[in-house]
C-alpha cells in the first residue's frame, strides 16, 4: 500500500521533576552517547536541575526531554546566566540514527522558542566549540554543532577561549576553544570589555558556583585558581591586542572542509502511538471482515 501522507511530531518538555520516568530515559541516552571528555557528571546535572531554580542562584539549568513521534529520543541541556542574560547551549544528546541536521535544527529552534515564549530576557546564545591543535583535532560533537550553528547565524568570536575542566580529575575536559555567539543584530565586532564580561560570567557566575556545593573548600580553592589562570590568560592576550574590539566571524563553516562527517539524510521512521493504534484497529477490522 502506497503512503501519500507522512508526518512527524517533534516535542520538547522541560524537566521539572528529576524522578520523571522520561527524564531518566533521556539521561541514559546522554550517558550512553556523550564522550567522556565533555560529559558533565549526570548526578550533578540532576542535582542542579532542582537546585538552580532557587532565586538566589546565579544560574538556572534548563533541561529538556526530546520526543519524536511520542518516543523519548534524547536530552538537551541549556543554562541561563541570570546576571548577564546569557543562554549557554550545552548538550543535545541523541542516539546515532537521530543525529541528522533536520533533527538538530528543529530541536534547536524549539529550545529558542521556549525561551522566547516564557519571556526570558536573553542577551546572547553562546556555545563552546573545541579548537584543539588549532582546529586540526576538533571532536565530532563540535563538528556537528558547527554545522547547525552556521545555519542558525551564529558567529565565531575571534578571541582566545578555554573550556574549563569538569572537576579536578577529568584532565581531558579542558582545552582550547572558541565561543560561538548569536545575537539579534548579527554584529561583526564586539568590544573587548564585553567579551571579557561574557567570559567572566561563564567562568565565575556559572562554573565556580556549579562546583561550590560539590567540592570541599580546599578543592574549590584549587579549582578557582585554575579558573583565575585561564581568565588571566584571556585578559592578557586581549591587552596585547592593538584594537579595542574582537571580530565575530560568520564564515566558520570553512573549518569543516577537511572532515567528512555525514549528518544529512532522512528522518528515522518511528510511528507515533496514534498511528500504531490506527494501524492496529485497521488490521483488526480487516481480519474480522475476512472471518
What is the per-residue pLDDT across 18-40, written as a single tens digit (0 to 9) for each?
Answer: 999 999 999 999 999 998 888 99
Q: What is the pLDDT of residue 84?
A: 97
pTM for this model (two decimals) = 0.85
Which set of grid coordinates corresponds to residue 26?
Answer: 533521556
Q: What is the pLDDT of residue 6?
A: 81
Q: What is the pLDDT of residue 272?
A: 53
Q: What is the pLDDT of residue 144?
A: 73
SS3 153: coil
CATH 2.40.30.10 is the classification of domain 10-290: no
Which set of grid coordinates corresponds to residue 89?
Answer: 547551549
Nearest-angstrom CA–CA distance, 27 and 31: 6
Nearest-angstrom CA–CA distance, 130 and 255: 11
Taking the chain (291 residues) in consecutive chunks of 10 residues, what is each chunk's mean pLDDT? 83 96 98 92 96 90 97 97 96 90 91 96 94 63 76 90 93 90 88 97 98 97 97 94 89 52 49 45 36 44
Amino acid at each position: 500500500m502506497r503512503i501519500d501522507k507522512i508526518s512527524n511530531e517533534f516535542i520538547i518538555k522541560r524537566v521539572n521533576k528529576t524522578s520523571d520516568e522520561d527524564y531518566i530515559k533521556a539521561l541514559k541516552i546522554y550517558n550512553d552517547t556523550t564522550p567522556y571528555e565533555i560529559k558533565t557528571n549526570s548526578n550533578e546535572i540532576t542535582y542542579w536541575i532542582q537546585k538552580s531554580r532557587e532565586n538566589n542562584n546565579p544560574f538556572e539549568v534548563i533541561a529538556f526531554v526530546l520526543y519524536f513521534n511520542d518516543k523519548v529520543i534524547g536530552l538537551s541541556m541549556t543554562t541561563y546566566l541570570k546576571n548577564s542574560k546569557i543562554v549557554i547551549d550545552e548538550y543535545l544528546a541523541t542516539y546515532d540514527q537521530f543525529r541528522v541536521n533536520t533533527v538538530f535544527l528543529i530541536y534547536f529552534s524549539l529550545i529558542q522558542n521556549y525561551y522566547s515564549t516564557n519571556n526570558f530576557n536573553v542577551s546572547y546564545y553562546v556555545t563552546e566549540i573545541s579548537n584543539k591543535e588549532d582546529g586540526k583535532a576538533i571532536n565530532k560533537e563540535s563538528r556537528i554543532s558547527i554545522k547547525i550553528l552556521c545555519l542558525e547565524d551564529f558567529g565565531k568570536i575571534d578571541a582566545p577561549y578555554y573550556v574549563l575542566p569538569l572537576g579536578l580529575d577529568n584532565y581531558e575536559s579542558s582545552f582550547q576553544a572558541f565561543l560561538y555567539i548569536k545575537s539579534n543584530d548579527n554584529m561583526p565586532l564586539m568590544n573587548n570589555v564585553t567579551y571579557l564580561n561574557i567570559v567572566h560570567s561563564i567562568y565565575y557566575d556559572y562554573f565556580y558556583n556549579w562546583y561550590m556545593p560539590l567540592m570541599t573548600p580546599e578543592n574549590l580553592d584549587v579549582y578557582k585558581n585554575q579558573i583565575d589562570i585561564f581568565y588571566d590568560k584571556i585578559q592578557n592576550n586581549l591587552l596585547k591586542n592593538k584594537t579595542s574590539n574582537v571580530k565575530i566571524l560568520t564564515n566558520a563553516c570553512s573549518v569543516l572542509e577537511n572532515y567528512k562527517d555525514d549528518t544529512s539524510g532522512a528522518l528515522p521512521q518511528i510511528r507515533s502511538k496514534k498511528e500504531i493504534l490506527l494501524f492496529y484497529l485497521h488490521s483488526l477490522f480487516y481480519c474480522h471482515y475476512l472471518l
